[in-house]
Amino acid sequence: MTREGMDLVKNPDGITRFEARERLSGPLHAALDGTVRTNFNLGDYETASFAAMKAVEVAVRDASGLDNSMVGVKLMRAAFQPHQAGKAGGPLADAGAEGGEQEAASALFAGAMGAYKNPSSQLVRPLHTLLAAGEPVTVDQLAARADRPVAEIREALAAMPDTEYDAEGRIIGYGLTFTPTPHRYEVNGRTFYTWCALDTLAFPAILGHIAQVTSPWRATGEPVRLTAAPDGPTDVEPATAVVSLVTADVPTSMRVSFCNQVHFFAGADAAKNSLAEHPDAKILPVAEAFDVGRPIIEQILADDTASDCC
C-alpha cells in the first residue's frame, strides 16, 4: 500500500479530499492553474471559487473592452446585454442567437457573479477597520460603516457564527480580535491578536498598515517574529520559518476546522513533526503563504469597493 493509501486508512475523511483533488487533476486554463488549484487542493473551496470567478471577471472585462469601473454583476449585464430590435446589445452578446438564448447567457454570467458576492463577505473589511480602532463595535456602527440597514447587518452576522462578542453584545473579534491568541499583532502601539498565522499576513494588505507579529513556535514556545506589510512579510525570524495550511472540511466553524490549525513553525521539519495528524497539510515559507492568501485579500477588497455590484 502506498503512503497516501495508508494516510487515507488512518483518516477516512481524506477520501473526500482525495476525490476533490482528482476532479481538478487535469489541465486548467493558465489563469486558474496556480491559485485556484492550490486553494482547491487545500480544501478552501470558497477561496478557489472566488479566484476562478475573479479570473472570469477579468477575462470578460478584457474581451468586452469595457471600462475598469465596471465590476461584478454590472459588468456581466453590460457585456452580455441582449440585442434588441433597433438596439445593439453588449459586446459579448451573440447577435445570431435567439433572444431567449441571449437572455439566458446574460442571466448565467450575472447570476454566477452575484452568487459569490454576499452580504457577509461585504462586512469583513468594514468590521476589521472598526476593530483596528481598538474599541468594541456595535451593530449600529457596523451598519453605518458598511452603509447597510441594521436588519441586514444582523442577518449577515447570524451567518458568521465565529464572531466574538462581549457581554454587552458588541463585536470584539472576527479574525482580528481583542481576545488573546498565540498570534500577537501590534499596530501603532496597540496590541491585537489574530485567529491564525495567515491572518497576520493578510490584514496589513486589507487595512493598509504595518504590523509587528510575534507568534510562538508550538513545540518550544520560541517566537517567530516578522514585520507584516501590505505588500508582504519582511524581517522574518528565523528566516527558515514556515506556515502550516491544513485542508478544511466543510465546517460549522471555519475557526475550529481551519484557523486553529494554521500556525508558524521555526522550520519545515518542525512543522512536519507537529502535523502528523494532518497528512494533507501544506507547509510553506512565510512569503509563499502570503501569496496563497492573496485571493482572500482581493475578495475582501473587491467586496468593500464594489459592494453595490450585486
Handedness of CA 254, 207, 264, 4 (dihedral sign): positive
Handedness of CA 66, 61, 109, 116 (dihedral sign): negative
* Amino acid (one-letter) located at 25: S
Measured between alpha carbons, how far is 40 from 23 in angstroms, rounded to an integer?
Answer: 10
Q: Please name the residues in contact with 286: beta carbons below 8 A apart, sequence gap of 6 or more.
A: 201, 226, 233, 236, 241, 242, 243, 264
* Cell of residue 4, nine digits: 497516501
Beta bridge partners of 191: 186
Catalytic residue among 259, 280, 304, 310: 259
* Amino acid (one-letter) located at 203: F
39, 292 in Cβ contact below 8 A? Answer: yes
Handedness of CA 177, 299, 30, 102 (dihedral sign): positive
Catalytic residue among 44, 94, 162, 199: 199
Measured between alpha carbons, how far is 287 from 143 in angstroms, rounded to an integer?
Answer: 35
Measured between alpha carbons, how far is 88 from 199 in angstroms, rounded to an integer?
Answer: 47
199 noted as active-site residue: yes
197: nearest Cα among 162, 164, 245: 245
Catalytic residue among 44, 196, 303, 304: 196
Residue 84 sits at the vertex; the CA angle it makes with 101 and 63, to the nearest 5 degrees, is 65
Measured between alpha carbons, how far is 120 from 157 in angstroms, rounded to an integer?
Answer: 7
Task: Determine the 3-state secondary structure of 37 from DSSP.
Answer: helix
| Active centre residues (catalytic) | 196, 199, 259
